[in-house]
Amino acid sequence: MTLPALSPLDAGHLAAATLTPAHSSGVFSATWLLVAIPLFSAAILLLGGRRTNRWGHLLGVAAPVASFVLGVILFFSLIGKPSSSRSFDNHLFSWTFVGNFRADANFQIDALSICFVLLITGVGSLIHIYSIGYMAHDPGRRRFFAYMNLFVAAMLLLVLGDNFVALYIGWEGVGLASYLLIGFWYHKPTARTAATKAFVVNRVGDFGLSVAIMLMFTTFGSFSFADVFGAVGQGDHATVAAIGLLLLLGACAKSAQVPLQSWLGDAMEGPTPVSALIHAATMVTAGVYLIARSNPIFDVSSTARLGVTVVGAVTLVFGAIIGCAKDDIKKALAASTMSQIGYMMLAVGLGPAAYVFGIAHLLTHGFFKAGLFLGAGSVMHGMNDEVDMRRYGGLRKLMPLTFVTFGLGYLAIIGCPPFAGWWTKDAIIDAAFHKGGTSGAILGSAALFAAGLTAFYMTRVMLMTFFGERRWSTEGPDAVHPHESPSVMTGPMIVLAIGSVGGGAFLVLGNRLTDFLGPLLGRPEDADFHPVGAYGLATLGVMVVGVGWAWLMYSRRRVPAVAPAANPLVVAARRDLLGDAFNESVFMRPGQYLTRLLVFFDNRGVDGFVNGFAAFVGGTSSRFRRMQTGFVRSYALSMFGGVVLLVAALLMVRG
């Protein structure tokens, strides 16, 4: 491999970015099976129809578990190779050739892909198992598992493709699965609307991603990661910046980042396992994957990188503020997801200094947020699908397992040492401050502030759900009989809770993840973790303040059964900080006016001309019609006149 002359500072990183994948042999040639197994299972369940109802869920669980086992085998094989050659491609077939256009069905497995593979299949398997219990009484359970398997296959394709076209197909596939699953209970109008909304908002991002891919092709003549990233240094600076910003647009929609965040809250209309897998642990992190994977592009363009940090910083505060005001437990968690992904975006926007921290937070978040969602699902399961936290309270004793697992996830997300979130979130806040300058101070402060808000809103969720007096009754029309969920549901919650406790320490201690991802994403200059730096103490401080504030508001005082009147900020936060209102006034209304204008032009202009011409012809002919008087003598006269004319003409011609 020859490299262009590079400054010593860049050399290590860029060399890593253009790491050429070796052709796969042995176990790595089975990479494609990771995608094929769940895809095949989805096909069987969808095509098999009602015949597969009886055992469909078992097949649906077996597929991601099989992929997970294969993923673990691949992971250990990858670990066994030297770190400089941990990249293997798996060529299946050439999909299409047209002139210079060449798209291959190629898989590539490397350190970054395998992290995602293990997250998707591992957490995915747990959530599939949980779904057996959660969806036990749903008539559409087989269809549910088919869509979930479809999602797992598409998501694996997204992270395993070795070119942007394969990534795009996976990207669209997860979008489709997300649409199908949000609208799973399609008899509810709200679910239908939410599914359409998610799909439409994602279309905006997909537009950005597709234009970015086209731009790459016209600029670099290839779609493959290796070619594009190898040539990106020689590309025109403005073009590369445009590609980076368009990729960011795609990432914004998929990862629910401002300004395309509005769909995530409504996406909670889907069944809770869907929220846990797709809208918390995996699909919404695809944007972070895209940015991290395209790191050579963002290394070249500081403009694009600045865009990523701004989006991340704005979203992490935005989501945290919304989370503080939501009474719907799933929507509060959705806002929290938005905010946590904001942290990841901020991290991958900070460059090689924090790529690894972003991925680390993504992995730990996958555990604790999936655990929290499954906990929320377990609470809903016991509370007749009630989602309003103002009707919960005092569930601690009745659902001890749910309480403990949810509590461990809670401790992880607020960043309480030594739980998972503390290791990874602190690192991001630390890296933001270490960026230096005014921008570093602003980004760091935003992240620090949102950490306090995170502690506040998660404590609020915790207190309103599990503590305080009972705001429900076992009698009357709204009677509920809270009970612990079956072990098929609590089992996965326990496993995820273990991940929430130990995941962070496992990844960060001894620089495990940094060493693993370093050759691909670059090593942070300051890789070693400092648990008690100045910023670490500040983070702990705001966390304690957040928890204390929430305790004062929701434990010392009674929680009213209906949301009380509040200041304008809270009212706005209850309405998703006016995200929908903004979209409606800026895009929907002008769009409606534009369509009305076009309809007017069509009716009056285009139709007017056509109809006018028809009326003209009709009017003229109705006048001509009057010549048919019915008087035979007038016909005879015209015949006579005609004959005279003919004869005259004949005579003149013969003249």
Stretch that binds other proteins, among 58-66, 96-104, 294-302, 628-636 (CB under 8 A): 628-636
Stretch that binds other proteins, among 176-184, 200-208, 488-496, 634-642 (CB under 8 A): 634-642
Residue 336 and residue 371: Cα distance in Å, rounded? 13
Find the binder of other proteins among 7, 100, 218, 628 (CB under 8 A): 628
CA atoms within 13 A on the CB side of 598: 6
Q: Is 645 in the site for other proteins (CB under 8 A)?
A: no
Total binding residues for other proteins by CB under 8 A? 11
**CB of 594: closest distance to other proteins in angstroms?**
47
Looking at residue 184, the DSSP 8-state letter turns out to be S
Report the residue number, 599 or 648, with the smaller CB distance to other proteins: 648
Q: Is 640 in the site for other proteins (CB under 8 A)?
A: yes
Looking at residue 286, the DSSP 8-state letter turns out to be H
Residue 179 and residue 58: Cα distance in Å, rounded? 23
Residues from 539 through 598 that contact other proteins (CB under 8 A): none
**CB of 628: closest distance to other proteins in angstroms?**
5
Contacts of residues 595-600 at CB distance under 8 Å and 24 or more positions apart, as own/partner, are none
Find the binder of other proteins among 22, 637, 646, 650 (CB under 8 A): 637
**CB of 622: closest distance to other proteins in angstroms?**
8
Residues from 78 through 107 that contact other proteins (CB under 8 A): none
**CB of 610: closest distance to other proteins in angstroms?**
26
**CB of 627: closest distance to other proteins in angstroms?**
8
Report the residue number, 532 or 639, with the smaller CB distance to other proteins: 639
**CB of 643: closest distance to other proteins in angstroms?**
10
Residues from 45 through 74 that contact other proteins (CB under 8 A): none
Stretch that binds other proteins, among 262-270, 407-415, 506-514, 635-643 (CB under 8 A): 635-643
Stretch that binds other proteins, among 299-307, 442-450, 464-472, 629-637 (CB under 8 A): 629-637
Report residue 609 CA to chain centroid gap.
48
Contact indicator for 170, 250 with CB cutoff of 8 Å? no
Find the binder of other proteins among 2, 25, 567, 629 (CB under 8 A): 629
| Residue 480 region by backbone torsions, left for phi larger than 0, else alpha for psi between -120 and 50, else beta | beta
Under 8 Å CB-to-CB from 300, ≥6 apart: which residues?
Answer: 232, 233, 235, 237, 240
Q: Is 633 in the site for other proteins (CB under 8 A)?
A: yes
**CB of 203: closest distance to other proteins in angstroms?**
58
Greatest alpha-carbon pair distance for the chain in Å reads 121
Stretch that binds other proteins, among 11-19, 450-458, 500-508, 621-629 (CB under 8 A): 621-629
> Residue holding tokens 């070795």?
162
Beta bridge partners of 642: none
Find the binder of other proteins among 436, 437, 476, 630 (CB under 8 A): 630
Residue 592 and residue 199: Cα distance in Å, rounded? 19
Report the residue number, 593 or 640, with the smaller CB distance to other proteins: 640
Find the binder of other proteins among 632, 651, 652, 653 (CB under 8 A): 632
Report the residue number, 50 or 626, with the smaller CB distance to other proteins: 626
> Distance of CA 260 to CAs 265, 319, 349, 377, 554, Å?
12, 12, 18, 26, 32
Report the residue number, 565 or 627, with the smaller CB distance to other proteins: 627
Find the binder of other proteins among 557, 626, 651, 652 (CB under 8 A): 626
Stretch that binds other proteins, among 84-92, 289-297, 442-450, 623-631 (CB under 8 A): 623-631
Sign of the dihedral through C-alpha 513, 514, 517, 521:
positive
**Ramachandran angles phi, psi of 318, nearest 5°:** -55, -50
Find the binder of other proteins among 631, 651, 652, 653 (CB under 8 A): 631
**Ramachandran angles phi, psi of 372, nearest 5°:** -65, -40
Report the residue number, 556 or 626, with the smaller CB distance to other proteins: 626
Contact indicator for 199, 247 with CB cutoff of 8 Å? no
| Residue 271 region by backbone torsions, left for phi larger than 0, else alpha for psi between -120 and 50, else beta | beta
Laid out side by side, the sheet with 22-23 consists of: 22-23, 87-98, 101-110
Q: Is 211 helix (H, G, I), strand (E, B) or coil?
A: helix
Give the H or E element holding residue 66: helix 56-79
> Residue holding tokens 């919650």?
493
Q: Is 636 in the site for other proteins (CB under 8 A)?
A: yes
Report the residue number, 588 or 650, with the smaller CB distance to other proteins: 650
Report the residue number, 397 or 633, with the smaller CB distance to other proteins: 633
**CB of 637: closest distance to other proteins in angstroms?**
6
DSSP string, 327-367: -BHHHHHHHHHHHHHHHHHHHHHTGGGTHHHHHHHHHHHHH
Q: Is 625 in the site for other proteins (CB under 8 A)?
A: yes
**CB of 620: closest distance to other proteins in angstroms?**
14
Stretch that binds other proteins, among 16-24, 483-491, 539-547, 632-640 (CB under 8 A): 632-640
Label the pairing between strands 101-110 and 22-23.
unpaired
**Is there a cis peptide before residue 259, judged by omega within 30 degrees of 0?**
yes
**CB of 634: closest distance to other proteins in angstroms?**
9
**CB of 648: closest distance to other proteins in angstroms?**
15
Contact indicator for 143, 149 with CB cutoff of 8 Å? no
Chain residues in the site for other proteins (CB under 8 A): 625-626, 628-633, 636-637, 640
